[in-house]
Amino acid sequence: MTAPSFRDELERLEVIVRSLERDDLDLDRALALFQEGVERLRSARALLERSELTVRRVLEAADGTLTSEPVDR
């Protein structure tokens, strides 16, 4: 769960857009923010375009460790 969540992406995007919408940003900073925004948009869109639901069945081994296996649907 290290990848930023969809929520993180949206929240960061909102912050970026708001900064860009202010006038007092210097141009280098604006460009850097824009670039980051594009990256985050790409990542959010990639998440949205994921088409197949992942379903895994959780199994507990005898020693108590948890594993999971894909579920055929």
Choosing from 58, 61, 62, 63, the residue that interacts with another protein (CB under 8 A) is 58
d(CA 58, CA 71) in angstroms, rounded, equals 10
List binders of another protein among 30-49 (CB under 8 A): 30-31, 34, 37-38, 41, 44-45, 47-48
Q: Determine the 3-state secondary structure of 38 from DSSP.
A: helix
d(C-alpha 45, C-alpha 9), whole Å: 10
Beta bridge partners of 69: 57
Binding site for another protein (CB under 8 A): 1, 5-7, 10, 13-14, 16-17, 19-21, 23, 25, 27, 30-31, 34, 37-38, 41, 44-45, 47-48, 50-58, 60, 66, 68, 71, 73
